Each structure stands twice: as C-alpha cells, then as structure tokens.
Chains A and B, each alone.
Chain A
Amino acid sequence: MYTNLRMKVLLLALLLGACSGPEDSASLGSTRAIKNKGSDTIVNLALAWAESYQDQNPQARISVTGGGSGTGIAALINGTTDIANASRSIKSEEIANAEANGITPVEFVIARDAIAIIVNLHNPVDRLTIPQISDIYSGKINNWSEVGGEDRPIVRLSRETNSGTHIYFLENVLRQGNKEDKTFFSSNTLLLPSSEGISAEIRQNPNAIGYDGLGYVTADIKVIAVARNDSEDYIMPSAETVNNFRYPIARDLYMYTAGEPKGAILLYIEWLLGSDGQSIVSELGFVPILQ
C-alpha cells in the first residue's frame, strides 16, 4: 500500500510537472515523460531508478506505474507505455500480438531476483525442498506437521495470475520446470492482488506460507532456506547465492521497449544498466546483473 501511494504521488507529480510547461517540451524536444509500467516486483526498483536518474538529469521525466508484468506488456502492445517491466520473459503470443500492432518488443535483462519462500516469524519450519514446496502448493501436503512443523493447517498464499512471479512460480517450483507437468495450484490457494497483501497476511497468520521477490521481504517476516532436493544443501536467498547459482528459485528481471530504443529512452536504459543504475539494484535487495 505504501509503495502504491508513493508511486501515485510520484506519478501525479510527474503529470503535473509535464502539464506545467508545454512550451519547454516543445523547445527541448526530449522532455516528454518516459512511461514505464509493469511488474509489481520491479516497481520499487523502477521508482528508485527514476528518482535517481531525474536527480542527475533534471530535464528527464519518467513516470512509473505497477500493475503486474502482463499489464505492462499489454500496455506496450497497446502503445500506452514506452518501457514495460516484466518479471518473466515475454510470451510468444504476446510477441505475435505486438507485431500485429506494428510493435517489435526488444528485451533487456536489467537485474536478477531471488524468490523468497516466506512464513510467519512464529513458524518453527526453517527449511524446505522444492518438491515439498510443490506438494504444499498443489494441495498434497496440508499440515505443517508433515514438513517438520507444528500441527497447523497450511494456508497457501499466491499472487494473482497476472503476476509474472505467479507464472514463474507455477512453471519452476510447482511444476519443477517440467513442461509436460499439469499440476495446478490447489484451488483454495488465496490469490492476493498485491505483494503487500501477502506480507500483511504472513505477518499476522502463523498458518500461512507465501512467496515474494527478495526485495519485498522485511525483517518481520521469516525467510525459508530452500534445497533443490533433499540430497542437496539448503540455501538462503541472497545476492551472493543468486549470482553463484546456488539458490534454486532465482530469475532474470526484464524491461521491454517498443522497437530498438532511441533518444531519451536509450540513454535511460544505458544508465540503469551501468554502474550507477546497478548499485541501486543491490541497495533494494535485488541482484545486479553480472557485468
């Protein structure tokens, strides 16, 4: 909620700013706001980038909104955003839709992210294997005592289906990367509309299990160590374990532009891929891309 508010305030400020000087933008040519929309996982990072970039380049204007990866890509396809943020790579049907609209999406990997498995602080369970997590979310395991915890029912929390994190989790954790696997989320999995909704429920409910980008995990939530299977080591997510590929649930984060970026958009993307931009990535708990 807080991030949403901040986002809206910033957006409003940017809109007002953009409205105030039509004559400036005409004379300078490049001060039109760059619209940046999509993944809720990336929205805080995108905001921090936008703020810092605008501090360094006072003439630049960037407006950032969230909504989910699918929302951002849909906006790119419909031509209502310049840059789409996505926590999953673009689907082939989305590329086809974009091309039908005369837009060729161009992909940039802008950071990496670990998906943390999170539980309430009072939950004694501190490690799980991927097959266990898969069984929990598909409904085969229904009580914490089956994975070494207390005798409590498991309440499964997930992001809504428009979230890139949801799809990543479905494909790589629930189905363990097997494309033929047709396992579903158990139908009583709670689908919450925001990351904040998940952390609010985790904070107050000792029965809950959830997943979220590492950048969203706060100190009042417990992170679980994860192993690929029970013969491998249990690893806590961190920048180090993501970059040395030991933590098993990590992914790339993307930005998409409509065609090869030019002008202000190109400058912005080059900046955020450079050392200034990537230092902000690690400040926010994400993992910088390897240079």
Chain B
Amino acid sequence: MKSNNWTEAIITGLIKSAGYSAILIVGIIFIFLFREGSPAIVEVDLSSLFNLRWYPIEGYFGILPLLGGTLLVTIGAGLIAVPFGLATAIYISEIAPRWAREILKPLVEVLGGIPSVLLGFIGILVLAPFVREFLHLPTGLTALTGAILLGGIAIPTIVSVSEDALDAVPKTYRDASLALGATRWQTIWRVTLPAAKSGVLTGIMLGVGRAIGETMTVMMVTGNAPVMPRGISALFQPARTMTATIAAEMGEVANGSVHYHVLFLIGIILFLLSLIVNIATASVVFRQRKRAERILS
C-alpha cells in the first residue's frame, strides 16, 4: 500500500511537471525573444521602424510591409481554408457513407503530413505558372499563390480537428432535430455545428496558426518583395512575410547587430500575433461554454 502511494506521488509529480513545463518553455522563449529583440526599439527610432522601406543592408528597417505581407497572406489563406476545411469536415462527418469516410479521413491526414518545402516546390513549378497565365499577371510569384498553398497546409488541420468535434456531438441531438421535422441541412447548420463550435474553432485556430508560422512555402512562392499591400490588388502582387524575412536573413546577420535585433523584434511580433489569435479563439470558446452550462443547468 505504502509503495503504491510512493509511485503514485512520483507519477503525479512527473505529469504535473510535464504540464507546467509547457508554460515554462513558452516563458523562456518569450524572455529570450524579448532580450534579443528589445534593443531594436532603442537602436532604431520608431519613425524608421514604421517606414515603408525594408532594406536592412543599408539600415532601412521599415517593418510595416512585412507585417502587411504576413496579414495579407494569412487572411487570404484563411479565406480559402476555412470554407473548404469546414465543408470537408461536415461532409466526412455528416454526409459521406461509411466507406468514403474511412478513405477520406486518413487521406486528409496524410495531406497534413506533406513537408511544406515539397508544397513550395510544386508551387514554383506548377501553381505559379498557372496563376500567371490564368489571371494574366506579370508574374505568378504573388501573395495569392502563397495564400493558396498555405490554405492547402491549413485545411488538413481544420478538417481533422473539426471532424473529431462534429463526430463527438451525441447522436441524440441529431435524432431530436430530425424528429422535430428539421431537414438534414437544418440539422447540420443549426444543431450539430453549433454544438461542436468550440472544437471547430480550435481547429480553425490551429490551422490559421500554422499558416502564420509557415516559412518555407511562402519564401519559395510569394516573391519576397517588401511591398506595402494596399487594397485587394495587393493579393495579385508579390509580398514578403515576416517568417520568410527571418529565414532568409538570419543566416547573414552578425550577432548583436541592429539588423539581428530587428529580426528578433519581428519574432516578437509574430509571437504576439499568434498569441492574439489564441486568446481571441479561447475567449469565444470559453464564453460559449459558459452559455451552454447556463442553459443545461
């Protein structure tokens, strides 16, 4: 009995420390980013940081075009991935016959495992020429090309997580809805999807998070020109994202130089951006759960 307690205490301790280690690691990463990135705010004055020119080898550190590029490509990817991902998840979970489901689900998960550099390669050789010819653009290396590929990267995550959430909705919900005379579509749209909302939102958040952080693909297909996006037409022009900038330039900079600190500052902005996405989703999920609890009690 006593030895049982001992092992229990050890295992509980291990599990607890594993749980807290995530917080610790995030904390350490943020401290490191902050230590390396914060000098940039002193070294480069704010007006120059909000300049529209990014040309670090001559001291131009305008980060707005990079922030704009990341937002442009990520929002574009979201607009592609969310409808497609949700529709696929609903089809797999609610509509597809059993056999189709057993083929589709693993295939979508395989799609999620394709290395992004491979997608970038396909992007350069197939998608970029297609986009250029189809839309009569000067070049196919545009924000749109990046958004399409990033959408492709985000879709498997969204499908996989949302499908699990939809699948977990009790069958009685659907039966009750159908028994009340609702059509199949009304049941999916008004009952099943709202009941699975928190899981679906988590899936979207994870998918969009992947799109923000994705580096290799965007570096290969967006053309990396630091142009400030203005309006919808920017989607059909080249863009330079924050991740691609860090990846392309980190190898070159001297340790401790201004350029090095600015790259870490960009890292902090990326970190905050994904934090905002996380908090926004978590607050929606949390509010919804409270409401559900109120109704049930």
Contacts and interface: CB of A to CB of B under 8 A. Distances in A.
Interface of A: 1, 67-68, 70-71, 74, 77-78, 93-94, 97, 152-155, 160-162, 167, 184-185, 187-193, 197, 200-201, 204-205, 207-208
A190 B220 CA distance: 11
A164 to B, nearest CB: 10
Contact of A71 (B121, B227, B237, B251): B251
Interface in B238-282: 238, 240, 248-249, 251-255
Interface string B133-150: 000001111000000000
B164 to A, nearest CB: 37
Contacts of B240: 191
B96 interface: no
A205 B124 CA distance: 11
B254 to A, nearest CB: 5
8 contacts: A70-B251, A78-B255, A153-B138, A161-B249, A188-B237, A191-B223, A205-B140, A207-B138
Nearest to B251: A71
B56 A192 contact: no
B139 A208 contact: yes
Contact of B57 (A1, A167, A197): A167
Given A74-B254, A153-B138, A187-B226, 15 more contacts: A70-B251, A94-B254, A155-B138, A161-B55, A162-B252, A184-B55, A185-B55, A187-B53, A189-B225, A191-B224, A192-B141, A197-B124, A200-B124, A201-B139, A205-B132
Contacts, number: 88
A207 B255 CA distance: 39
Interface residues of B, number: 33
A266 to B, nearest CB: 27
Given A190-B139, A193-B219, A161 B226 contact: no
Contacts of A78: 255
B56 A161 contact: yes
Contacts of B128: 201, 204
Contact of A161 (B57, B141, B254, B255): B57
Residue among B249, B254, B255 having the largest count of chain A Cβ atoms under 10 Å: B254
B253 to A, nearest CB: 7
Contact of A191 (B129, B138, B248): B248
B242 to A, nearest CB: 14
A204 B139 CA distance: 10
B129 A204 contact: yes
Nearest to A166: B57
Contact of B139 (A70, A71, A74, A205): A205
B225 A193 contact: no
B225 A187 contact: yes
